[in-house]
Structure 1
Amino acid sequence: MNGTPETTPPSFIPSGAPRRRSMPSQPAAEQPQSFQPRRHTPRRANTAAPTSPATDATVPPSFSPAGTARRAEPRSSSGSGNHTASPSAGSSVSRDDEFAAFQGAESEASWSSPRADHRSFADRQPFGTQRTRQFDRSPLRRPGRGHVRAVGPHHIRHRVLTVLAALIVVILVALIGLVNWINGQLTHKDMLSSMANTPAATWLILGSDERDGTAGTGTEQDVPGSRTDSILVLTRPKSGASSLISIPRDSYVTVDGQDMKINAVATMSGYGALVEQVESITGMKIDHVVQIGFGGVEKVVDAIGGVELCYDRTVNDANSGLVWEAGCHQADGGTALAFSRMRYSDPTGDIGRAARQRQVIAAVAKKASSPSVLTNPATVSKLMKAGLSSLTVDEKTGAFDLLSMALAFKAATGTKGVTGSVYYTNTDYYPKSGIGSTVLLNESKNTELFNQLEAGTHDPGTVGGQ
């Protein structure tokens, strides 16, 4: 003591107290030279230990209050080396000790300051403790139970694509099953010829009572066995209008030097010979042959709930069973069948009957492709069963060929299609062979007609006649 106040150690400086250098107790001249302040030495932050107004005793640095930078305890100088002025009289601190004290202060600040970048000691517990697991439950790292994760656009897109892929797989499986079922319902027969292929896709549509035993119309005893009462050629060119052309059943042809009507060729010489005769008339390769039993027409029309037909004459025909009042009417299956087979009460005979057959086909194609039918699974099922049960196809035709035929039917019977019959020169021609009245075809005009239909260059509309 002795009247000279002792300085408070730097570790006992209250937090926030202003720091200033203590006045020396002796004049600077009386102090040893080694203790003179070095004016060229810059002052370091927090290096001078302020005095405490509360006590003059020196307190060890380890007892410094929390939040105050800790410094190394001053050590006595040996009188040699570089030194800085001590804030307390009779003590000295070397520059090395001062720098060590500064490092200690920085380290303490990093542990005690609330603004430190490092985690607290509690957060430095080993990985796997309860506190660390709670920290890891952040929604950005690992969502816990009950946490709702935000769904971004890429998640929605991924889910939509997954659902679409699943639907495509289901549809493909269903289509494969449907195709296999259709192919299993078809009756195949060798009917195609060996003629070279031609550019357009062609179908020969034959109407016959061979499979269902439907009664013939009128006096049909001139043709033993089944009869091919309807012969139509459906053509779909690579570009241009599709066409549906009738060949009269009484058309005069010669097979192996024998005169006959074309409706008797299949019975007399086989379906291969009939296909060859059609190819001779059209000049085109027949790609597919589809034979429809007349009983199937009745079932198909009933399956779709009837079709609308128009005829401008009143008819009561005993041969076909058609009772009709002039005009347009909704026809059921039985009426539609009689409508397509009646010819004796028609002044144009077989030519008029062929026109009514095309009308029935067009009406069925229009109704079958309407939304009211396609959106009704029960109706579609009945339609398919009725149609497939009455079909006989060539050895190569399958489900996809039938689908293509249906689309070509719809195009040909629409406003942009070509319909009609072949050209002829005489509808009551009697050959010397005594086979009765026949239709004599115009070979040159038919060649020109089918050349245009095959190329797709014919204008839409009605063709044929004399």
Structure 2
Amino acid sequence: MTETHDEGWGATVRGGRRRGRRSVRVVLVIVVLVVLAAAATGVGAAVYASAQMQHVEVGGLDGASRPLHVLVVGSDSRAGLTPEQQRELATGDTAGERADTIFLMTVSGRRAAVLAFPRDLYVERCDGSTGRINGAFAIGGADCLVRTVRDLSDIPIDHYLAVHFLGFRHIVDAVGGVDLCLDQPIADPFAGIDLPAGCQRLDGRQALGYVRVRKIDSDLQRIERQQQFLKALAQEVISPSVALNPLRLYETAGRVGNALTGDQGLGTVALVRLGFGMLGVASGRSVTHTVPATPANVGGGAVLRVNEDEAEQLFERFRDGSVLAEAAGGAQVDPADVEVRVLNGAGITGLAARTADRLRSEGFRVVSVADASQQVDRTVVNHPRGRRTQAEAVARALDGRGELREDPTVETVTIVLGPDAA
């Protein structure tokens, strides 16, 4: 592989300096809106949305695999934003474009799997250079990014979708905003956001700021936070106020179409297929993964190096579609294969013992019951890298309670019970 010096777009190597360009995390939510709108009302909305989309030539696509694999990109382009809009959305006026959010969607029927590629993933790109994966877009646009992802994972990519800043705001506003509950306040002037703790409804401007925040957590943690936002937005789209309101639904479909750029082969049929699969995101018949990686330093720049053996196992499950069996409603984890530690973080006498008994009755192997080192406000299910599916099974056994967190310090699935588990 050829080492290169990226000018602000990818990893900086050989002592170079990374430019301080603010990240724009426009995740997958735009696609969810268009495809869920299509699936909720049938082909009509999909035809309408597809007609509004821009289409571009994208090389390296397969176009007809089963299950369906779609590469989804959030673009940080400021193109089309007026100076006033740039100030309001706190985007700045940086020229150029790069892929700031990269997801692969795999769908079959009403089940979906999401594979997130962290923007700082250090890979070989389409031209043979090495650097951050998001720099591939600057090197050769969508063609280069598709080739880079395909060469890394060997997963066939059937279609490509990209969305920009302003479209994100318009779509969230079209559905009337999204409800979100925050454990703590979030303030980031670089993302133009200042939200108090507690439950609230975010409009399009606030939602854009929320998915752009990069000062409060790591790249991998941001991905998990954005996936939670995705599910909340998906539930909003299929709510009666949107799905059963033709005017709002078609307004949403039209705005989504205007916000999207897809490959030439992405039409109504593919949108409907993607739509039925994405209904699983809102109903819980979905699973999310992030490419396994380890923080590293290359030439003074912070990057994420792929854990090759673990990543290859994950890529194989996406290639053959077996990852879809992890979605709720598919093949389930055998509880007898899951070891669980139960910690009482609520200070409620007997809570951990009762929870342990319940898990044992479901077939899980409870290996220890104890008090947590400190109390928590709500239940958390911690899991080692590679055992998220087991953690999801444990959370389902607790009626969906428990925020899932990857924790490198634990050796097995570890529940820290909060007052909500009482």
**Shift in Å, 1:410:** 2.5
Q: Does 1:387 align with 2:256?
A: yes
* Cα distance in 1 for residues equivalent to 2:60 and 2:67: 16
- What's 2:322 paired with? 456
Q: 323, 328, 350: which is aligned to 2:199?
A: 328
- What's 2:225 paired with? 356
User: Residue 403 and residue 198 in structure 1: after superposition, are their counterparts in 2 closer, same or farther (change >3 A)?
Assistant: closer
**Shift in Å, 1:438:** 1.2
**Shift in Å, 1:264:** 1.6
- What's 1:425 paired with? 294
Q: 30, 39, 56: which is aligned to 1:189?
A: 56
**Shift in Å, 1:449:** 1.3
Q: Does 1:280 align with 2:151?
A: yes
Letter in 2 for 1:247: F
**Shift in Å, 1:391:** 0.5
- What's 1:295 paired with? 166
* Cα distance in 2 for residues equivalent to 1:197 and 1:178: 23
| Maintained 8 Å contact 1:424/1:441 | yes
TM-score, normalization: structure 2?
0.60
Q: Does 1:378 align with 2:247?
A: yes
**Shift in Å, 1:331:** 1.0
- What's 1:155 paired with? none
1:161-240 superposed matches below 5 A: 181-193=48-60, 198-210=65-77, 211-213=79-81, 225-237=96-108
**Shift in Å, 1:396:** 0.4
* Cα distance in 2 for residues equivalent to 1:358 and 1:176: 27
Q: Does 1:409 align with 2:281?
A: no
* Cα distance in 1 for residues equivalent to 2:63 and 2:308: 21
* Cα distance in 2 for residues equivalent to 1:176 and 1:416: 22
Identity among equivalent positions (%) equals: 28
* Cα distance in 2 for residues equivalent to 1:259 and 1:220: 28
User: Residue 451 and residue 381 in structure 1: after superposition, are their counterparts in 2 closer, same or farther (change >3 A)?
Assistant: same
**Shift in Å, 1:439:** 1.4
* Cα distance in 1 for residues equivalent to 2:281 and 2:59: 23
1:11-410 superposed matches below 5 A: 181-193=48-60, 198-210=65-77, 211-213=79-81, 225-237=96-108, 241-255=111-125, 256-344=127-215, 346-347=216-217, 349-410=218-279
| Maintained 8 Å contact 1:244/1:409 | no
Letter in 2 for 1:329: Q
**Shift in Å, 1:314:** 1.8
**Shift in Å, 1:225:** 1.1
- What's 1:444 paired with? 309
Letter in 2 for 1:253: V
**Shift in Å, 1:356:** 2.7
What are the Cα deviations for residues 349-381 of structure 1, in whole angstroms up to 9, with x where unaligned?
222222232223222221112222122122112
User: Residue 421 and residue 308 in structure 1: after superposition, are their counterparts in 2 closer, same or farther (change >3 A)?
Assistant: same
What are the Cα deviations for residues 430-456 of structure 1, in whole angstroms up to 9, with x where unaligned?
223x6x211112122122113223432
Letter in 2 for 1:327: G
* Cα distance in 1 for residues equivalent to 2:141 and 2:304: 21
| Maintained 8 Å contact 2:186/2:196 | yes
* Cα distance in 2 for residues equivalent to 1:371 and 1:384: 15
What are the Cα deviations for residues 250-292 of structure 1, in whole angstroms up to 9, with x where unaligned?
1112222322211121112221110112123332111111101
User: Residue 294 and residue 194 in structure 1: after superposition, are their counterparts in 2 closer, same or farther (change >3 A)?
Assistant: closer
| Maintained 8 Å contact 1:212/1:293 | no
Letter in 1 for 2:137: A
* Cα distance in 1 for residues equivalent to 2:174 and 2:291: 32
* Cα distance in 1 for residues equivalent to 2:270 and 2:61: 19
User: Residue 417 and residue 179 in structure 1: after superposition, are their counterparts in 2 closer, same or farther (change >3 A)?
Assistant: closer
**Shift in Å, 1:311:** 3.3
**Shift in Å, 1:313:** 2.8
User: Residue 298 and residue 176 in structure 1: after superposition, are their counterparts in 2 closer, same or farther (change >3 A)?
Assistant: closer
Q: Secondary structure at the match of 1:225?
A: coil
Letter in 2 for 1:358: Q
Which structure carries more strand by proportion?
Answer: 2
| Maintained 8 Å contact 1:412/1:419 | no
Letter in 1 for 2:73: L
* Cα distance in 1 for residues equivalent to 2:236 and 2:244: 12
Letter in 2 for 1:373: V
* Cα distance in 2 for residues equivalent to 1:321 and 1:355: 21
* Cα distance in 2 for residues equivalent to 1:215 and 1:430: 33
User: More relative contact order in 1 or in 2 (CA 8 Å, sep 6+)?
Assistant: 2
Letter in 1 for 2:119: R
User: Residue 377 and residue 299 in structure 1: after superposition, are their counterparts in 2 closer, same or farther (change >3 A)?
Assistant: same
* Cα distance in 1 for residues equivalent to 2:153 and 2:118: 13
What are the Cα deviations for residues 419-438 of structure 1, in whole angstroms up to 9, with x where unaligned?
13121122xx2223x6x211
**Shift in Å, 1:416:** 2.6
TM-score, normalization: structure 1?
0.55
Letter in 2 for 1:448: Q
* Cα distance in 2 for residues equivalent to 1:342 and 1:179: 31
User: Residue 446 and residue 379 in structure 1: after superposition, are their counterparts in 2 closer, same or farther (change >3 A)?
Assistant: same
Corresponding residue pairs, total: 285
